[in-house]
Amino acid sequence: MSTHKTHSPQARPPSTSTTDRPRMSDEGDLGGANGHRNGAGPRGCRDGGGRKAKATVSPAGGIAETPVTSGDLSAELPTTAFAADATDIDGGIKEPDGMTSVPLSGDTQHLDTFLIGDNDEIIVEDPHVKRGGDSTIPEAAFNFINSIVGAGIIGMPFALREAGFGLGVILIIAMGIITSYSIKTLIRCGVKTHKPNYQDMVMHCYGKLGFNLLSFGQFFFPFFGMIAYSIIIGQTLPKVFEAVFGHGFLSDRNTVITIMTLFLMIPLSMNKHIESLSRWSAVALTGVFVLILIVCIEGSLVDPPEDRGDPVAFFHPRFVQAIGVMAFAYVCHHNSFLIYDSLQNTSERRFSIVNYSSVTIAAVLSIMLGAGGSFAFGNATKDNVLDNFAIDNAAANVARFFFALAIMLTYPIECFVAREVIENYFFPNSQPPTDLRHYSVTLAVCLCVFIIALSIEDLGIILELNGIINANLIAFVIPGACGAKLLVGETFYKGERIWATLLFAFGVALFVFGVILVAIDSSSTPTS
């Protein structure tokens, strides 16, 4: 007598267990590399003949699993299963590519995906049940854009000052292309290895050493990003509150950080699903648009003229520092798997729309803000362009408020990533987390960020190193290294392995030159 177990795909959390069985789709997802259409991965399906199997599908939908046995079908299945390691299956027909075709009988018009599991069980996925999460493409794009245009975008005018206006614009576009390619490589490697998250994919490629290295960078990049967000809130909102309410307790940075952390950022960070944050991402992006509009308009009205500085040259030799600022701004790779998994009916094709559109919009916004600030203040542009405006400038205070709002609504997404790394590293076989553990881990991360932000006002050197080390590691070095190893079988004319190797080399070069420049800048800074 056969038994079956049923579970709902949309309720199924990302898992790091190597025993988790991949799900397949016609396009490919992290659980079932490229599905039955192109036959990639250990399981697939095509037309053919072979042996019958018994399976059941839950009336409520979901995935039903039963051991493979001889006999009649009790559910509607596709006509053929393919198993890469099914050499012992009776009646199978060996294919030229080493796959064994296994015929199945039954009506095939309702079910489109299934696989033969590691223990020779048929796994059927109800096509009426959504794969992935609940986010539409626009909602996923909102979350992705918001993770890119966080604190880093405020430094784009400064980046154009460092690189020169012409070269700076070229670099923003080039870094966008590199970022988009590295995200594509990352997800493709995840699909190829059937791994549902960044850490498992790296573990597959480079073992425990690679896993530990990535976990370090993937946790500390968003963690220090959250600290930076808290510090920015403490630098901007007190000025706004003082302009509106006069000098008082809201003029104190620590008070403002405390209030915003306890009553806004921590509650939003308690969300269990990243797709639930998409509505706030739309609000945050509105704040960025307001910031760009005010900087461009108000910057053109700056008086006296000497505050503008000299025009920025087309090219400047400090372009390496500018690349560092742009790399920090563009990094969103620690969110990539989460965004991919949150997408309805997720697939490489659907995610590519999210990827390309998000990076393109982020690049356009970066150029707009960079050009507006650069034209307004020239070579006098500061690393935070809002600091170029007077404290009592009403329009600048509006920009400060909306940028702080955008930062506060980006904070929960970074917290989500940091929490996910902790779950995958310390509790890989205990998923999903209990409510108590979920809330405890979230609270612990946020309180650590809160304490550090209260005690530190200037994270300049730390953020710079965070960009050079952690951001570069998770965005360029590791995706390039994984792509160079996993894409060996790709056709040569596509150049996938070559491009992945160049991505890795770019990351290493950025790390080496970045560390050297930070060391030179630190040694040249006068000490008291």
Is the same domain home to 205 and 291? yes
Residue 443 lies in a domain: yes
Residue 40 lies in a domain: yes
pLDDT value for 407: 87
- pTM of this prediction? 0.68
Can you tell me whether residue 109 is helix, strand or coil?
A: coil
Helices (H) and strands (E) in the chain, counts: 17, 8
In this structure, are residues 263 and 450 in contact, taking their beta carbons and an 8 Å threshold?
Answer: no
pLDDT value for 308: 65
Is the same domain home to 90 and 154? no
Token couple for 72? 């009649």
Is the same domain home to 54 and 95? yes
| pLDDT surpassing 60 at residue 527 | no
Alpha helices in 427-467 (DSSP H): 435-455, 460-465
DSSP label at residue 431: -
| pLDDT surpassing 80 at residue 82 | no
Query: Who has greater pLDDT, 179 or 85?
Result: 179
**What is the rounded distance in angstroms from the CA atom of residue 126 to the CA atom of residue 111?**
6
pLDDT tens digit string along 484-502?
888 876 554 467 788 899 9
Closest C-alpha among 86, 147, 91, 90 to residue 120: 86
Last residue of a domain, one of 131, 156, 184: 131
Last residue of a domain, one of 131, 153, 186: 131
pLDDT value for 30: 52
Using a pLDDT cut of 70, give the percent of the chain over it.
69
Is the same domain home to 191 and 114? no
Is the same domain home to 488 and 349? yes
Is the same domain home to 337 and 471? yes
Rg of the chain in Å (alpha carbons): 26
Highest-pLDDT range among 29-43, 183-197, 245-259, 509-523: 245-259
Give me the amino acid identity at 226.
M
Query: Who has greater pLDDT, 454 or 194?
Result: 454
Last residue of a domain, one of 101, 131, 161: 131
DSSP label at residue 380: G
pLDDT value for 121: 42
Is the same domain home to 455 and 486? yes
Residue 503 banded pLDDT, cuts 50, 70, 90: very high
Q: Side-chain half-sphere of 73: how many Cα atoms within 13 Å?
A: 17
Mean pLDDT of 9-14: 39
Q: Which CATH number does the domain housing residue 216 bear?
A: 1.20.1740.10
Query: Who has greater pLDDT, 231 or 4?
Result: 231
Can you tell me whether residue 19 is helix, strand or coil?
A: coil
Is the same domain home to 316 and 208? yes
**Which residues are within 8 A (CB) of 255 and not within 5 positions of it... i.e. 6 or more apart?**
249
Residue 355 lies in a domain: yes
Token couple for 498? 């070559």
pLDDT tens digit string along 90-122?
444 443 334 433 444 444 344 434 444 444 444
Token couple for 351? 């995610």
pLDDT tens digit string along 419-441?
988 998 899 888 889 999 999 99
Please say whether the dihedral angle defined by the alpha carbons of residues 15, 18, 23 and 24, taken in this order, is positive or negative: positive
Is the same domain home to 103 and 247? no
Q: What is the DSSP string of 252-302?
A: -HHHHHHHHIIIIIHHHHT-S-GGGGHHHHHHHHHHHHHHHHHHHHHHTT-
Q: Which H, E and C letters describe 23-90, residue by residue? A: CCCCCCCCCCCCHHHHCCCCEECCCCCCCCCCCCCCCCCCEEEEECCCCCCCCCCCCEEEECCCCCCC
pLDDT value for 285: 77
pLDDT value for 309: 65
pLDDT value for 415: 93
pLDDT value for 19: 40
Residue 528 lies in a domain: no
Residue 400: how many other CB atoms lie within 10 Å: 26
Residue 401 banded pLDDT, cuts 50, 70, 90: very high
Return the ∠ at Cα 142 (arms to 194 and 330), rounded to 5°. Answer: 75
Residues β-bridged to residue 100: 83, 94
Is the same domain home to 28 and 171? no
Can you tell me whether residue 481 is helix, strand or coil?
A: helix
**Which residues are within 8 A (CB) of 465 and not within 5 positions of it... i.e. 6 or more apart?**
515, 518
Give me the amino acid identity at 36.
H
Adjacency order of strands within the sheet including 63-67: 5-7, 63-67, 121-125, 113-116
Query: Who has greater pLDDT, 277 or 259?
Result: 259
In this structure, are residues 18 and 204 in contact, taking their beta carbons and an 8 Å threshold?
Answer: no
**Which residues are within 8 A (CB) of 105 and not within 5 positions of it... i.e. 6 or more apart?**
52, 72, 73, 77, 79
Residue 238 lies in a domain: yes
**What is the rounded distance in angstroms from the CA atom of residue 105 to the CA atom of residue 119?**
21
Is the same domain home to 119 and 204? no
pLDDT tens digit string along 303-329?
665 566 677 788 887 787 788 788 888
- Count of domains observed in the chain: 2
Residue 197 lies in a domain: yes
Residue 253 banded pLDDT, cuts 50, 70, 90: very high
Residue 527 lies in a domain: no
Residue 85 lies in a domain: yes
**Which residues are within 8 A (CB) of 131 and not within 5 positions of it... i.e. 6 or more apart?**
9, 23, 25, 29, 125, 344, 345, 346, 347
Is the same domain home to 160 and 73? no
Domain containing 62 equals 1-131
**Which residues are within 8 A (CB) of 218 and not within 5 positions of it... i.e. 6 or more apart?**
198, 199, 334, 417, 421, 470, 474
Closest C-alpha among 307, 327, 293, 283 to residue 153: 327
Can you tell me whether residue 237 is helix, strand or coil?
A: helix
**What is the rounded distance in angstroms from the CA atom of residue 127 to the CA atom of residue 396?**
52
